[in-house]
Structure 1
Amino acid sequence: MLVDMRALATVRNADLELKVDSLGWHLTSSGLSLRGFAVEVYGRSGESSGQLFSLNPSEAKVEEQQVEVPGLGRLPGLVCTSERGKLVLALGEALLLQLELKVQDDIVEHFCLPFEVQGDGEVGTVQRQVTCCTSRWVRPAEHSSLLVNGWQSFSFSGALHGTEKQPQTCMPFFSAAFHQGAALPAGCPAAKDPNVLVSDLYGHYLQHGDNASDVLGGFLAQKAGFGGLAVTSTLPAKLTLFSELQPGPSLSSDWAYLSLQKGGSQVQQTYFDTIMKHHQLRPCKPQPVGWCSWYCHGPNVDELLMQQSLEELKSLGLDSGELALKLFQLDDGWQKMWGDWTPNAKFPNGLKPLTAAVREAGLLPGIWLAPAALVAGSKVAKEHPEWILRDEYGKVVSGGFTAPGLWMRGLDTTIPEVIEHIESLIRTIVHEWGFGYLKCDFLHLASLPGKRHDPRCSRAEALTRLMAAVRRAAGPDVFILACGAPLGPCVGLADAIRVSADTAPHWLPVGPDIPGTRWMFAHDRTNLPSARNMVCSTMARLQMSGRLWVNDPDCMILREKVALHEARALASVVALSAGSVIFSDALHLVPKERLEILKALLPPLPRAAELPRTTCQEIPHKMMTSLSSAVGSWQLCGLFAWDEAELQHELEDQDCHVFEFWSSAYTRHKAADGSFRTGPMAARSCRLLALRPLQARPQMVGSNIHVSCGMEVTSWEAAAQSLSFTINVQRRIVEPQVWIYLPGAKSPRCSGAAQEVYSEVWRFSLPEVPKNGASFQIDW
């Protein structure tokens, strides 16, 4: 039987072609193609639930129109209209889609848009088959991977390969509430696959091998509901864009986004750039750099301890100018009770004296709170039980269990009085107590499933209302960090987002010390604190930073409980993320060499690094960024051995300067040698390499001043047998050293000692550099 595949309508731009034919819609680009099918709408009709109807573009009235997409302008597109609604498709740098529905008695809850990669079903090239009741082809790791984005800060984010199981919490009784993000409707075909992978907000599907291609599907906002991308375990892979929809007489989805290209490295950057335009985001505020009380003192903070910590910071480098910090953040433990956000007896004079002292020290005072959270014993819970989020049976919705031993509950942020209460709280904290940095934690509580005061408000919109209230009350200049936060609703409202689970001084998660269960906690890849989980999620979300917000990879822990090589590796992840640089140690426990790690990261790098194309590693072993300053352009590469390994890096076909920052080791790489090899590396160690092609002129090749090995130099002028340069990182440098390539120089002279460490590469030990910088000259 022949199928009529004549196009009913077609639109094109420079890169994409979109057509609607008898099977649905078809998107092509650079020899790749996606085949999309009917939109499936799910919900309840009377006593039954499941698929209500479908909207097939081939059975609708299709018109070519210019489509207005907020923030992106008018784009060429197709509008497919039926009696139940319409599907709007527009071509920008990717395919943009929006669903508009007309419903009467039915209650709509979800929509799904299934599609597949044409040519993805070439199962003859995949030598793996699984036999259960029937034979079927499944996706092996060598065929494809999915870069998963978790629902909120603490949810697993990372690459899953082939049919690898999606990580789930090992303690659902305690932690299930932390992971109630986008979910497929029960009747959706993809939901019947027990090994389906689900990514919230967006997912990045990577097909490997000779037909390497990238498909990114997601949403430009999450206001109508939480949604994302699902990928089945079978071949050919079935991909589904899906989203919740809040009941109402007229429904519009958030704008969806779908791109495809051949193995491109810019896929995520283009997607986040499109989100920026859609929301008309302003440039991000500077990254916070400073100190936090949580990982050294936990909830055991008090007025005297905070004053002592501030004095220690001043004595260890603030007063001398060696520590260029800007933030002092008080974390959990200051409040009477969760929900009652007033100072407890440990702060008998309130918090104003602390903020005054912090500002006098030249720092910004920050504070932790959980504005959507409360516990059963709080005054707010007792006086306003109607404010607490409940389910359809009137039972309080559990927000999960967290340290220090608390069962959380959430506020219904669709109640006007709750918003007034939160705004009053934030105004007090900011405008009366004097805090300029708010760490708003456990924001998932505003987005839990429940029966809300406003039934037409989606749970994603409920968080948007909370964040908008915090922003209104705080004002535009206050820095807001969203933590434990579902990501989509925070776009445009948070200045920074925690992009990982809590870190810890241990690599693997640790639970209660019960024999026979340690393995279970060690394998948790979701919200249990550990350095591994922090690294994995931070790397997966790199390209958000500097576009949607400042990424917060959580605090660095520098004390000796963490091995020095591991502390340097974790610091390198923080540095290359170009996000917040905050440490959390009792300062008397930080040796000088550990404090030098922090100093070397300041100021933060200007942009996040990129990862190489996804391979089958659990955590990527490489991060790369391109930098430029007065000394020219170069690459900074982090090579990470998460297990004992010898790593390699492909270099351009020319001789290169290679400088390893943490060991201050220089080597010359010869093009004839092929790939650069690290040699044996201990588990959880790092090589942070500054890479520069060899040139016939004076070149900066390394320093002990800044991890970038170049951004510290703000001017660089080379003449015949002389070189002048300026170093300035807005902090005092006691023993600066720089490594410079001086072709032809025999005995260079400068104001410091010079030593040749390699042919024509000299290490200069310079005089102290004051906080406002210093200039130097070398003659030969």
Structure 2
Amino acid sequence: MILTIIAASFIFFPVSYAMSLFDTLINSSPLVNAHYFHDGSSHALTEQLASQDRTQHPLVFKQAFEKLTETRYELTYSVKALRDSVRLRHLEFIMDLPIKGHTMMAEGFQSWSLSKEMDSNSRLSSIPTLVAWKTKFDLQSDSPFYNYSGKPGVIHSNGYTYFRDPEEENILFLGSVSENTGYTYFQADMNKGHFSIYKDIDGKNLAKGETLAIKIYLDYREDMSAIWKDYAAYYPKQTKAPRRPLTGWTSWYNTYEKITESDVLDNLNAIKEHKYPIDLFQIDDGYEIAIGDWLDVDSEKFPRGMQILATEIKEAGYLPGLWLAPFAVGVDSNIVKEHKSWIVTDSQGNLLTAGPNWGGFYSIDIYNPEVRGYLQQVFDVVIEEWGYGMLKLDFLFAAAMIPRNGKSRGEIMWDAIELIQELTNDRAILLGSGVPLPSTWGRLDYCRISNDASPWWDNSVLRLANVRERVSTSNALVSTLHRWPMQSMFGTDPDVFFIRSENNKLTEDERHTLFAINVILGQMALMSDNVDTYSDSEHKLYASLFPKAETEVDAVRQISPDVYQISYHSHRHNYSTYINLSPVPHSLKLSDRYYFEQDNVLLSGQVVWHKPSDTIELRPHQTRTLLHVENGFAGSTGHIIPGWEIENWEGSEEGLKIEIRGSLKNENFKIFIHNGEGMLPETVYINGEEADVEHISVEGDLHIGQVVV
């Protein structure tokens, strides 16, 4: 069924832009335009919803609103099969909105898809046919089933979106709360003022009396974090593991598929020797003989098997992790040779190609009882026998390449995550990757929020070919900067950072930027470097990760093309981090206060004090983090977020007492203190031990006490 619901609205728009959009949505009167299959033939209708003649067609459409607060509503559209079963193909709700001149969030199809705010000049273009045919990169995206127009201002977003007016702080947020019924898209023509809610329900069989509901959460406020916390209430956390920040090592981004047992042990011993207090040590792709044959370990590369490595990782004090792609099957696997009935086939009965990796791979059928039994065995062995307590589950989109069994793609994807939950049964921490993110909300412990990062900035060829899922540090940063509120849904994984200088084309500024943004916005902070290769400055930068910061992000705003500001706080401190992702320098004026900064330690590592209303420069791809100097200030050079490692400080009759977090790795760093009253303590205690204080004058009336720890 191809169904389109068009809403025309003629109401008075209030002054507030977000409020005007909100009013348009809840006061619209949709026009229904539908095509569907019934009694063996195709049917169509185009009718006003309010005056729909229910006697002519086997479908009935309804809309409903529920007011939650003055700024929050639920909007529901539904379609019901009245007399007989109906096969659906397309479902859409269209209305006019005054959106020209504003920005719209464009959430990509899956973890690796570039996601960011776009405007009337932005384009979303499909991968060229020749490139798609040759590379099969389109299979990693939604372009095989979604029409990318490539026109300026024609934007779409998967699962949720929001509209932002540059002249006001409030945004209008729309989020699907019915992803179990299929993928939900929000579409807009920013130049013509058209907006639609589209449901990918191709292949869905609606039985007699069955209703398909499309439920949308509407919110217009300024506080993005608060909006997402309320939105997340529709997807309550289903996992038992706490979403704590995790640091660690993963094998992929250095050795890739060539990983061996020797590589694993070299890196494990290096981290132990340098006493880095990481949480997780994860072995990625390359241990198995073929994709899909997960229990057939390559004995030449891993002669002692996988269980002994998990034991040694545990003995070192780390959580052992392992990579799996449970719904992918390699073309040369034993599964293909011995169990072709396990593989999803296309309409001609051919094995369905799900992606280009490993020379091509197929999609395993999650509805086949034998497949479910096999995957149960895999998870049981990996978790219980081998002993891996964290699983990175990759290429999950492969489960839902085409609609089948009377279900849409989004329904199949929802079922696939449900199957993972059932088979793992809270026995391991789960990290999802390569997956449409709304299908995982509240259901996995952690999830990738960016494409793969790379030891280079971007791939110009794939960028020109419109591959939104390409391996790219630049794209990874952009998606991370826009997807940060998803931490309300799961622990966010912005992928790895690279500190190493060997086998790495990133500049010092680019390495520092990737590291800083991952630490500030991610709840996972992983790398693949062998720390034995680090220089002194590289060790100092990596050491500044510990202990992993927990920040409360207030806002992430794009203040200029490719220039961002993150405003956040932690403990008593407020921070502003500025990121320049553009290839040209950018200058900006600071507000009326003092700031403390430590420069990139891969370069100078110099301490910088900024006066009120100073102008600072951002080099191309540079990031600068500024700590606001306020009453009760305590900054430092020991952490990438200066002062975060200071657990507490308080004055007493004996002097100022400062407590440093126990897992701090950096040594011989400096603490700078300021009590906001022009008076500095003569005596300072660091973790109970008296320390020498040097008084320094920054400029004007700002006087600082400096302590070397």
Q: Which TM-score band (shorter chain)? A: 0.7 to 0.9
Q: 1:172 aligns with which of 132, 140, 148?
A: 132
Structure 1 residue corresponding to 2:371, chosen from 400, 407, 418:
418
Structure-2 separation of matches of 1:489 and 1:239: 21
| Corresponding residue of 2:4 | none
User: Which piece of structure 1 moves more, 150-159 or 30-39?
Assistant: 30-39
Match of 1:683 among 620, 626, 640: 620
Q: 1:151 aligns with which of 100, 109, 113?
A: 109
**Structure 2: which amino acid aligns with 1:34?**
T
| Corresponding residue number in structure 1 for 2:691 | 751
Contact 2:224–2:555 (Cα < 8 Å) also in 1? no
Superposed counterparts of 1:68-147, under 5 Å: 84-92=60-68, 93-103=72-82, 104=84, 106-117=86-97, 119-120=98-99, 139=100, 143-147=101-105
- Using a 3 Å threshold, how does the CA distance of structure 1 residues 241 and 734 change in structure 2: closer, same or farther? same
SS of the aligned residue for 2:24 comes to strand
Q: Distance in 1 between matches of 2:32 and 2:87?
A: 16
Structure 1: how far apart are the matches of 2:379 and 2:158?
A: 29
Question: Which residue does the alignment assign to 2:494?
Answer: 553
How far the C-alpha of 1:721 sits from its partner, in A, is 8.0
Q: CA deviation at 1:597?
A: 2.1
Q: Which residue is 1:199 aligned to?
A: 157
Structure 1 residue 59 displacement after superposition: 5.0
Structure 2: which amino acid aligns with 1:218? Answer: G
Q: CA RMSD in A?
A: 3.2
User: Structure 1 527/692 Cα, relative in aligned 2: closer, same or farther at 3 Å?
Assistant: same
* 1:262-314 residue CA offsets vs partner (Å, 9 max, x unmatched): xx432564145323344455685212210011111111112222122211111
Aligned to 1:378: 333
Is 1:294 the counterpart of 2:231 in the alignment?
Answer: no
1:414 touches 1:462 (CA, 8 Å); kept in 2?
no
Contact 2:65 2:73 (8 Å CA) reproduced: no
Q: Retained in 1: the 8 A contact 2:481–2:556?
A: no
Structure 2 contact 544–666 (Cα < 8 Å) conserved: no
| Residue deviations 1:428-475 (CA, integer Å, cap 9, x gap) | 10001000110111111001115x3xx133322323333233233323
Q: Counterpart of 1:298 in 2: which secondary structure?
A: helix
CA contact 1:224–1:252 (8 Å) conserved in 2: no
- Following superposition, the deviation at residue 587 of structure 1 comes to 2.8
Conserved in 2, the CA contact under 8 Å of 1:284 and 1:548?
A: no
Q: Which amino acid in 1 is paired with 2:707?
A: F
1:391 corresponding residue in structure 2: 346
CA contact (8 A) 2:122 2:152 kept: no
1:38 aligns with 2:35: no
TM-score by length of structure 1 reads 0.78
Closer/same/farther in 2, CA of residues 746 and 384 from structure 1, 3 Å limit: closer
Mapped to 1, the partners of 2:410 and 2:349 lie a distance apart of: 21
**Hey, what's the Cα distance between the residues in 1 that align with 2:368 and 2:8?**
47
Distance 2:438 2:539 in 1: 36
Alpha-carbon contact 1:543-1:610 (below 8 Å) kept = no
Task: State the one-letter code of the partner of 1:84.
Answer: V
Secondary structure of 1:88 counterpart: strand
Which of 702, 726, 730 is 2:659 aligned to? 726
Q: Indicate yes or no: 2:408 matched with 1:467.
A: no
Question: Secondary structure of 1:256's match?
Answer: strand
1:736 aligns with 2:678: no
Match of 1:643 among 570, 576, 583: 583
Contact 1:217 / 1:257 at 8 angstroms: preserved in 2?
A: yes
Distance 2:48 2:417 in 1: 35
- Give the match for residue 392 of structure 2: 439
**Residues 54 and 708 of structure 1: is their aligned pair in 2 closer, same or farther, counting only changes over 3 Å?**
farther
Residue in structure 2 matched with residue 483 of structure 1 by the alignment: 433
SS of structure 2 residue aligned to 1:527? coil
SS at match of 1:418: helix
The CA deviation at 1:661 is 5.7
Overall identity of the aligned pairs, in %? 18
| 3-state SS of paired residue (1:336) | coil
Is 2:699 the counterpart of 1:764?
no
For residue 659 of structure 1, report the CA deviation from its aligned partner.
2.9
State the 1:86 CA deviation. 3.0
Return closer, same or farther for 1:437/1:590 CA change in 2, 3 Å cut-off. Answer: same
Paired residue total: 665
Q: Distance between the aligned counterparts of 2:465 and 2:683, measured in 1?
A: 56
Query: How much does 1:163 deviate?
Result: 3.5
**What TM-score does the superposition give when structure 2 sets the normalisation length?**
0.86
Paired with 2:372 and 2:431, the residues of 1 have a C-alpha distance of: 19
- 1-structure distance, mates of 2:43, 2:567: 46
Instruction: Indicate if the aligned counterparts of 1:156 and 1:167 stay in contact, CA closer than 8 A.
Output: no
Q: In 2 relative to 1, CA 54–343 (structure 1 residues): closer, same or farther, beyond 3 Å? A: farther
The aligned residue for residue 606 of structure 1 is: 550
Are the equivalent residues in 1 in contact too, given 2:452–2:476 (CA < 8 A)?
yes
Shift of 1:756: 1.8
Structure 1 contact 153–501 (Cα < 8 Å) conserved: yes
Secondary structure of residue in 1 paired with 2:407: coil
| Partner SS state of residue 415, structure 2 | helix
Q: Which residue of the partner structure matches residue 529 of structure 1?
A: 471
* Kept in 2: contact 1:217–1:256 (CA 8 A): no
For residue 368 of structure 1, give the secondary structure of its aligned residue in structure 2: strand
Whether the 8 Å CA contact 1:108–1:247 is kept in 2: the answer is: yes
Query: Compared with structure 1, are the counterparts of its residues 51 and 660 closer, same or farther at alpha carbon in structure 2 (3 Å cutoff)?
Result: farther
Q: 1:278 to 1:646 in 2, by over 3 A?
A: closer
**CA–CA distance in 2 between the matches of 1:25 and 1:425?**
58
- 8 Å contact kept, 1:85–1:102: no
User: Partners of 1:639 and 1:195 in 2: how far apart?
Assistant: 25
Report the CA distance between 1:668 and its aligned residue. 4.5
Name the CA distance, whole Å, in 1 between partners of 2:673 and 2:430.
41
